[in-house]
A and B are shown apart, each in its own frame.
Chain A
Amino acid sequence: AQSVTQLDSHVSVSEGTPVLLRCNYSSSYSPSLFWYVQHPNKGLQLLLKYTSAATLVKGINGFEAEFKKSETSFHLTKPSAHMSDAAEYFCVVSDLAGGYQKVTFGIGTKLQVIP
């Protein structure tokens, strides 16, 4: 079985402070994990992905995520929030089912950045 849980539906931070968006997953296999960002009225854009290489993954716009197998987590972080980071973020788990890729999206976390 495959599932993903984004622990916060909304996160609010001040500009210049760190960002932490939490994601826990469940998978029967060794999964790949993704984070996507969606700005208002836009499509989803890939931020970063983990594919069983380095556990610390660096993405675009200063974001990074760490894969922790023991905690089944893939939290997204950024040292200093910028106003342009205000968006919705989706954590995605991917593995194989019947020889084909199966993905499950989390419900999303809306990030608000306060000036």
Chain B
Amino acid sequence: DSGVTQTPKHLITATGQRVTLRCSPRSGDLSVYWYQQSLDQGLQFLIQYYNGEERAKGNILERFSAQQFPDLHSELNLSSLELGDSALYFCASSVAGVTSTDTQYFGPGTRLTVL
């Protein structure tokens, strides 16, 4: 158990809908990262937050957005869902992300299925 929690574990929804994925980082970790893992694209970095502020963006679509709240939990919002958004979405956390040695600890993931 990494200490990172993600809810829900599974999510099934229809095209065009909007969903919210939630992540609670390890106690004491200030940075949260979101990743998308699909069979055809592999593991893709989406976005990083540090202590409530956006720090880095990866291959995140405009239909997707995220935020980190004062209690440091984070939410990833996916809207106008398409079939191709079906994937495993992982959250990871690290202490700060200001040194190259920081370890990212991964949650168990949310499996999103868009029908």
Mark A residues whose CB is within 8 Å of B: 29-32, 34, 36, 41-46, 49, 51, 90, 94-96, 99-103, 105, 107-108
- Known contacts: A101-B94, A101-B97. The answer to whether A44 contacts B55 by CB under 8 A is no
- Scoring B4, B43, B55 by chain A CB atoms within 10 A of each residue's CB, the highest score goes to B43
A103 contact from B104, B107, B109, B111, Cβ within 8 A: B104
Kindly list chain B residues whose C-beta atoms are within 8 Å of the C-beta of A101: 94, 97-100, 102
B43 in contact with A90 (CB, 8 Å): yes
B98 in contact with A100 (CB, 8 Å): yes
- Known contacts: A46-B105, A101-B94. The answer to whether A107 contacts B100 by CB under 8 A is no
A99 in contact with B98 (CB, 8 Å): yes
- Known contacts: A43-B108, A49-B103. The answer to whether A105 contacts B45 by CB under 8 A is yes
Kindly list chain B residues whose C-beta atoms are within 8 Å of the C-beta of A51: 100-101
B43 in contact with A43 (CB, 8 Å): no
> How many chain-B residues does the 8 Å CB contact rule pick out?
25
Q: Which of B1-42 contact A (CB under 8 A)?
A: 2, 4, 42
Q: What's the nearest-Cβ distance from chain B to residue A47, in Å?
A: 11
Kindly list chain B residues whose C-beta atoms are within 8 Å of the C-beta of A94: 100-102
20 contacts between A and B (CB under 8 A): A30-B100, A31-B100, A36-B106, A41-B111, A42-B109, A44-B90, A94-B100, A94-B102, A96-B98, A96-B100, A100-B50, A101-B97, A101-B99, A101-B102, A102-B56, A103-B45, A105-B42, A105-B45, A108-B42, A108-B43
B2 in contact with A43 (CB, 8 Å): yes
B103 contact from A34, A43, A107, Cβ within 8 A: A34
